């Protein structure tokens, strides 16, 4: 068998292609069991909307995980950004200023995380748990139990409108995915991320400014959380201090399902993109079958455990099989 044919066959059984098969299977199941809903006008838009709320943060989380770090403060950063945007717009009625304030807020929150992690060498999980409580606590102190609804009306376009039948949120997701894909797979920055994620010590000795890269990645994550706040407000038209609780787990689960290693140095853009769509279709389908929100959270946890465990199981099996194969080859 030729090397080219072997590569093609192995690609068909890669994790990313398995995700494509799962995505197709979900569509087939919906076509068979709920055709009246699947083919109904506006159904596709509703499915996309259920997937696009955490979608923008997935791209930033890919970079974080590739470095072997994690950020569980992303939902709180999104909340902070949304709150700042609402108050700025309420005070100025300037939508450009309000959106800019939201994005800058996200970046500053990301910078706060990044500096603590990179400069003080603190564990990312501890820092982001603490900052998550900090950011959400600030929102609760400022807002109390009130809701905030002073937002630019055009934000609804991001979540509800379509262009040629394709939801604007999906077009934005694809556009951002292309940008992040080029950054990761066709730029020096992407090669640095893989190098630092695989061996941070070797990366530092090779001249890579690892602390700066780590800080920059957390700033990018903050920016994407701020961007996500625009789509969140566009969908719900307002927010309160409890908004987005648990969304960080959805983002991490999507990345893990997409094949991004939580240990760093392994993953790509394509897997999480497909995983995001699977997530949207799966949760929309579960909702149609009457599965409550708490049960769907249980499924999220199970997906996260399984996807994190699979690579470890595969590696252990390969280590057990390899000595047997080698011994047989010598004989």
Rounded to the nearest 10°, the torsion over CA 242, 250, 235, 42 is -140
- Nearest Cα to Cα of residue 77 among 241, 253, 242, 229: 229
Residue carrying structure tokens 């990645």: 217
Alpha-carbon distance of 221 to 106, in angstroms, equals: 8
Residue-level pLDDT at 153 = 92
**Does residue 154 fall inside a structural domain?**
yes
Mean pLDDT in runs of 10 for the chain (331 residues)?
A: 63 78 85 81 76 90 96 96 96 96 98 96 96 96 92 92 88 95 95 94 90 97 96 92 89 90 88 90 77 75 71 65 52 44
| Position 204 in a domain | yes
Structure-derived torsion over alpha carbons of residues 178, 302, 229, 163, reported in degrees to the nearest 10:
50
Q: What is the reported pLDDT for 135?
A: 97
pLDDT at res. 318:
61
Taking a C-beta distance cutoff of 8 angstroms, is the pair 76, 135 a contact? yes
Q: Is residue 8 in a domain? A: no
**Whole-number Å distance between alpha carbons of 39 and 41:** 7
Cβ-based neighbour number of residue 73 at 10 Å: 30
In a domain, 13, yes or no: no
Tell me, rounded to whole angstroms, the distance of Cα 202 from its chain centroid.
28
Q: Contact, 16 vs 268, CB < 8 A?
A: yes
For residue 166, the SS3 value is strand
Q: Is the pTM above the cut of 0.85?
A: yes
What is the pLDDT at residue 321? Answer: 60
Say whether 240 sits in a helix, a strand or coil.
coil
Q: What is the pLDDT of residue 173?
A: 94
Tokens, residue 285: 């389908």
Dist CA 35 CA 236 (whole Å): 28
Residue 134 lies in a domain: yes
9 inside domain:
no
Check residue 226 and give its pLDDT: 96
State how many domains the chain has: 1
Dihedral of CA 281/58/80/121: which sign?
A: positive
d(CA 250, CA 244): 10
Separation of alpha carbons 59 and 65, rounded Å: 10
Please report the pLDDT score of residue 304 as a whole number: 66
* Residue that is written with structure tokens 């199970």 in the block: 302
Between 247-257 and 74-92, two packed helices, what is the crossing angle to 10 degrees? 130
Please report whether residue 22 resides in a domain.
no
pLDDT at 325: 44
Domain span at residue 188 reads 44-330
**CB count, 10 Å around CB of 294?**
7
Q: Is residue 185 part of a domain?
A: yes
pLDDT value, residue 310: 66
Question: Residue 315: what pLDDT?
Answer: 63
What is the pLDDT at residue 6? 65
For the chain, the maximum distance between any two Cα atoms, rounded to a whole number of angstroms, is 80
CATH number of the CATH domain containing 239: 1.10.3470
Query: Residue 122 — left, alpha, or beta (φ > 0 → left; ψ -120 to 50 → alpha)?
Result: beta
pLDDT in tens, 267-321: 999 999 999 988 888 877 777 777 777 787 787 677 767 766 766 666 676 666 6
Q: Could you tell me the end-to-end alpha-carbon distance of the chain, in angstroms, rounded to an integer?
A: 24
């Amino acid at each position: 068998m030729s090397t080219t044919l072997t590569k093609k066959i192995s690609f068909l059984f890669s994790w990313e292609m398995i995700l494509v098969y799962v995505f197709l299977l979900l569509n087939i199941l919906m076509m068979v069991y709920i055709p009246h809903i699947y083919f109904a006008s506006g159904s596709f838009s509703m499915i996309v909307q259920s997937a696009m709320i955490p979608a923008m943060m997935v791209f930033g989380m890919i970079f974080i995980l590739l470095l072997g770090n994690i950020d569980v403060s992303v939902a709180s950063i999104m909340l902070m950004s949304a709150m700042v945007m609402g108050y700025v717009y309420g005070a100025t009625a300037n939508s450009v200023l309000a959106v800019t304030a939201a994005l800058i807020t996200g970046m500053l929150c990301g910078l706060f995380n990044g500096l603590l992690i990179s400069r003080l060498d603190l564990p990312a999980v501890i820092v982001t748990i603490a900052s998550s409580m900090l950011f959400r606590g600030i929102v609760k102190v400022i807002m109390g139990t009130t809701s905030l609804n002073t937002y630019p009306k055009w934000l609804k376009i991001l979540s509800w409108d379509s262009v040629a039948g394709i939801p604007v949120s999906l077009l934005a997701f694809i556009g951002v995915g292309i940008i992040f894909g080029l950054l990761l797979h066709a730029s020096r920055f992407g090669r640095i991320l893989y190098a630092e994620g695989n061996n941070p010590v070797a990366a530092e000795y090779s001249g890579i400014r690892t602390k700066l890269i780590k800080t920059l990645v957390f700033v990018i994550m903050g920016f994407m959380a701020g961007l996500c706040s625009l789509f969140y407000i566009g969908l719900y038209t307002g927010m309160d201090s409890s908004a987005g609780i648990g969304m960080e787990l959805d983002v991490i689960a999507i990345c893990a399902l997409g094949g991004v290693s939580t240990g760093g140095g392994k993953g790509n853009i394509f897997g999480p993109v497909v995983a995001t769509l699977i997530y949207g279709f799966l949760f929309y389908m579960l909702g149609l079958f009457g599965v409550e929100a708490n049960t769907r959270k249980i499924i999220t946890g199970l997906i996260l455990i399984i996807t994190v465990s699979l690579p470890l199981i595969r590696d252990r099996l390969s280590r057990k099989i390899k000595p047997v194969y080698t011994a047989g080859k010598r004989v």
